[in-house]
Amino acid sequence: MNFLKSRMLIKQAILFFIFFLTSHFSFGQQEDSTKAISHFSAAVSATNNGISLLPNFSLGKPAVIFNMAMGKKKLSFEPEMRFAMTGKPWSFLFWWRYKVVKTNKFSFNIGAHPAIAFKEKTFINDGEPKTVLAAQRFFAGELSPNYTLTKNISVGVYYLHSFGLDKDVTKNTDFVALRSSFSDIKISKQLVLKIAPQVYYLKLDNKDGIYTSATITLSKKDSPFFISSIISKSIESNIGGKDFVWNVSLHYAFHKDYVKS
């Protein structure tokens, strides 16, 4: 993929985001909007270090991330578009998720997505090195059972399998995580903390490793802005990459529920 194609892809992704952002406001003015979707949300995040829990998807540089989610009670479409701060695309994920079971205590979700990851590749052209941005295609599916212990504490298991569709990419990825979440930890009358630690096993073709990570989120009540940090440490791994990574991200988000009359 040459530079011009990369610029065109970035423009298309941004236009895609603006289109759905604009649709959010128009939906609120249409009487029959609730027949199409029951909820819509969007978020923009800026981080000092683009981290993915799959090391082969990490950027390792400052990045900006666009998230959206829209759908009905059970089925939702949740695209995620990631870019380096320089404007180069990092990865695009187009999630479809379905709530199979939802009770007061237990939930079980399934999901699938096609994804495109972008990697810089260098080759020799007329005796000189040339770097291009190559698109790598993947398809993945997930299973996510979760159990609520108390109002603010939950535990769950997460499994993801990804299959690489192109040459020279990881063909099979397996990700299994034991997760927990501690939410609504009051720091003050206005500030609330959420901590979500996990331990996970990762296998990339013939390489594997065990890791631990935590996502810490600090938010203010009734504010669309919040701060989060991801901390990840390898316990034992032959996959490669850094043993310890972290970042800090600033987020802006909004959510709208459409209630049928």
Tens-place pLDDT, residues 149-208: 999 999 999 999 999 999 889 999 999 999 999 999 999 999 999 999 999 999 999 999
For 164, other C-beta atoms within 10 Å of its C-beta total: 21
* Mean pLDDT value across residues 30-52: 80
Using the predicted structure, report yes or no on whether residue 22 has a pLDDT greater than 80: no
pLDDT score, position 241? 83
- Which amino acid is present at 25? F
For 30, other C-beta atoms within 10 Å of its C-beta total: 12
3-class state of residue 49 by DSSP:
coil
Q: Is the dihedral of CA 109, 47, 9, 139 positive or negative?
A: negative
Give the least confident one: 13-17, 25-29, 200-204: 25-29
Q: Using the structure block, give the residue that is written with the tokens 């237990």.
A: 106
pLDDT score, position 119? 87
- Which one is predicted more confidently, 18 or 229? 229
Using the predicted structure, report yes or no on whether residue 18 has a pLDDT greater than 70: no
Whether 73 and 34 have beta carbons less than 8 Å apart is answered as: no
pLDDT score, position 260? 55
Average pLDDT, the chain: 86
Per-residue pLDDT tens digits for 94-139: 999 999 999 999 999 999 999 999 988 887 777 778 888 889 999 9
* Mean pLDDT value across residues 215-222: 95
Phi, psi of 203 (to 5 degrees): -125, 125
DSSP for 64-101, please give it.
Answer: EEEEEEEE-SSEEEEEEEEEETTS-EEEEEEEEEEEEE
- Which one is predicted more confidently, 170 or 25? 170
pLDDT score, position 214? 97
Per-residue pLDDT tens digits for 80-90: 999 999 999 99
Using the predicted structure, report yes or no on whether residue 17 has a pLDDT greater than 60: no
- Which one is predicted more confidently, 24 or 178? 178
Using the predicted structure, report yes or no on whether residue 3 has a pLDDT greater than 90: no
Greatest Cα-to-Cα distance within the chain, rounded to the nearest angstrom: 68
Structural tokens at position 180: 């927990």
- Which one is predicted more confidently, 38 or 81? 81
* Mean pLDDT value across residues 71-79: 93
pLDDT score, position 167? 87
Per-residue pLDDT tens digits for 235-250: 999 998 889 999 999 9
Tell me, yes or no, if the pTM score tops 0.85. no
pLDDT score, position 20? 45
